[in-house]
Structure 1
Amino acid sequence: MAGIGVSSAPRRIRGSYMPVFTAGLALARSLAAARQNGLWLTSHQEGHLAAGLVSAGGPETARFLLLHLSGGTTELIEVRRGQAGRFDLDLLGGTTDLHAGQFVDRVGVRLGLEFPAGKRLEELAEGASPGAESLLPSSVQGLKVSFSGVESAARRLADRGVSRPDVARAVEGCLARTVGKLIRAGCAQTGLTEVLLVGGVAANKFIRRELSRRLPQTVRLYWAEPAWSRDNAIGVAFLAEQALSPT
């Protein structure tokens, strides 16, 4: 064993902290000391990034964009490869209120789905009427997006008696348009055209199809495998192996 890797914080920036990470960090330190192994501290976000890179097979460039879409994160990030096991991450934009996954979960629960609702909302949307994906607007200003207003609008659709599958597909359509505009803005600002998408919301098949259709062919999308979009543990292990393995 080369060593032990652990997520010590949500992001690798000063002040990034959640109590849930302290238990894993304490255990990793104890195991590393007992086994006399090296210990590599990384972040939850870098774990998602690394898992995405491994499963998607790229990007392989020194700089690229990362779009992290989940229940707790909606961020567009410029990534620069650093030393082994490290990335330099520059936050470009993201949500000003609800995260993409929160939007999905809140509407899903309103539709009677169990929490977390992402997978079931995707299944429900398969029965939607043609055109239902356009029932909700998207709110994007440059590199900032908002989901609180469209979440209220989705609730109003349900209250008016719009079918559950149509509301579910409307949520997917809103997400696809919103994310597409955010990616376009990020590419225009940075000049980068390779984008890695990770996080649970990025596993949605409809959103994947729509983004591939809507974005110009000059933008190359790399999708983490659906199971790896939601799980960052393998990414943490990959980063620790890079950093701690003898060269």
Structure 2
Amino acid sequence: MSALSLGIDTSNYTTSVALVDENENMIYNKGILLEVKSGERGLRQSDALFQHVHHLPILLQELPRGREIEIICYSERPRPLSDSYMPVFRSGESLACSLAGVLGIERLAVSHQENHIRAAIYGSGSPDLEAIFCAVHFSGGTSEILLVEKKTIGYKCDIIATTRDLNAGQLVDRVGVLMGCDFPAGKALEVLANQVNPASFNSNVFISSTMKDLDFHFSGQENQARRLLETGVEPPVVAYLVLKAIAKTLSKAIGGLAKKYPFQSVLFSGGVMSNQIIKKIVINELQATGLKLYFSPGEYSRDNAAGNALMGMDYYKHARYSQ
């Protein structure tokens, strides 16, 4: 019977558990969004950690029974850097270490960012990416463009462009909450934006991109969105302009980076990159570059534990077949 790898990820806004077999069949992949009070724009780390502790047993109770788990892989930090730390990941780490000890199996610690990359590769059809490629990680907690080098297990990630203030997901959430949407506001903003026809926009109504070299600013876009709303521009129009501004900013950065760094492929991950409006604009903006663009479905773009389960299985198979 095929071995199983259990993945656990406890990010700032989602508790996630996944289970994969040796053939990369995703047997289980579920998450529970953390609750944020209406009108608020985020959670304290202590509140998020408490909710993870409550959610993890619920997700584990739903795991399929009757097959043995051989390895547990969990996120212990935000990024694959020695000084990267966030308390919220201690909940998943504690459970993974406890389960591995009781079951007498191996455990593997990785980063939340590597989890996103591995899940996005899987979700986009497991393309044969080059040894070095570009990865976009745009979410509520991160807005980075990375030069990624494959390792035997996991990835070496160098930041080659980043936000200088707000993250793209923060911009979406703040503007959404300003318009009365619940937090997180990504889905609601996309629904609003889909109510309008971009071709009918007044050319004088726009939200501009702000760049610093190849880094970017999103706080100015929040201010521009606020001013548009205050002058009476309809929320659906503002929603579309915010998403368009994110896509245009990202496209400008990638186009510039492609001239400086040796990559031919770009992999998109993070909750913001599950937005179909942003995806469509980015594809259109970068079509002349010749870059290969890889997007994955929302379940593998947003926070999930699938990447951890897959990296755990990568580790298990490598260790077994290299003996």
Contact map agreement 1:132 1:166 (CA 8 A) in 2: no
Matches within 5 A, 1:76-155: 76-83=145-152, 85-129=153-197, 130-131=200-201, 135-155=206-226
Give me the whole-angstrom Cα distance separating, in 1, the residues matched to 2:158 and 2:295: 20
Name the Cα RMSD after superposition.
1.4
1:136-178 deviations in whole A, cap 9, x for unaligned?
0001223210001110110000011001111001101101110
Give me the whole-angstrom Cα distance separating, in 1, the residues matched to 2:212 and 2:128: 27
Equivalent position amino acid for 1:131 in 2: F
Match of 2:139 in 1: 70
Match of 2:313 in 1: 241
Tell me whether 100-109 or 136-145 shows the greater mean CA deviation.
Answer: 136-145
1:1-37 deviations in whole A, cap 9, x for unaligned?
3211010111111111111111211111111111110
Equivalent position amino acid for 1:148 in 2: S
When you count helix as a share of all residues, which structure comes out higher?
1
SS in 1 for 2:260: helix
Contact map agreement 2:150 2:156 (CA 8 A) in 1: yes
Task: Count residues in correspondence.
Answer: 246
Offset at residue 132 of structure 1 (A): 6.4
| From 9, 24, 49, the counterpart of 2:92 | 24
Structure with the bigger RCO (C-alpha within 8 Å, sep 6+) is: 1
Contact map agreement 1:53 1:59 (CA 8 A) in 2: no
Contact map agreement 2:129 2:265 (CA 8 A) in 1: no
SS in 2 for 1:97: coil
Equivalent position amino acid for 2:201 in 1: G
Contact map agreement 1:59 1:222 (CA 8 A) in 2: no
SS in 1 for 2:259: helix
Equivalent position amino acid for 2:249 in 1: T
Offset at residue 102 of structure 1 (A): 0.2
Contact map agreement 2:80 2:156 (CA 8 A) in 1: no
CA gap 1:171/1:109 in 2 versus in 1, 3 angstroms: same
Offset at residue 186 of structure 1 (A): 1.7
1:166-217 deviations in whole A, cap 9, x for unaligned?
1001101101110101111221110312100001110111111111111125
Tell me whether 203-212 or 126-135 shows the greater mean CA deviation.
Answer: 126-135
| From 190, 210, 215, the counterpart of 2:281 | 210
Give me the whole-angstrom Cα distance separating, in 1, the residues matched to 2:225 and 2:154: 40
CA gap 1:73/1:59 in 2 versus in 1, 3 angstroms: farther
Percent of aligned positions that are identical = 37
Give me the whole-angstrom Cα distance separating, in 2, the residues matched to 1:59 and 1:20: 33
Match of 2:269 in 1: 198
Offset at residue 45 of structure 1 (A): 0.5
SS in 1 for 2:299: helix
Offset at residue 241 of structure 1 (A): 0.7
Offset at residue 128 of structure 1 (A): 2.3
Match of 1:177 in 2: 248
Equivalent position amino acid for 1:71 in 2: G
> Is 1:221 aligned with 2:296?
no
Contact map agreement 1:65 1:79 (CA 8 A) in 2: yes
Give me the whole-angstrom Cα distance separating, in 2, the residues matched to 1:30 and 1:132: 58
Give me the whole-angstrom Cα distance separating, in 1, the residues matched to 2:212 and 2:263: 19
Equivalent position amino acid for 2:110 in 1: T
Equivalent position amino acid for 1:64 in 2: F
Match of 1:231 in 2: 303
Give me the whole-angstrom Cα distance separating, in 1, the residues matched to 2:315 and 2:97: 16
> What TM-score, normalized by structure 2, do the two folds share?
0.74
Give me the whole-angstrom Cα distance separating, in 2, the residues matched to 1:235 and 1:21: 15
Mark the structure with the bigger radius of gyration. Answer: 2
> What TM-score, normalized by structure 1, do the two folds share?
0.96
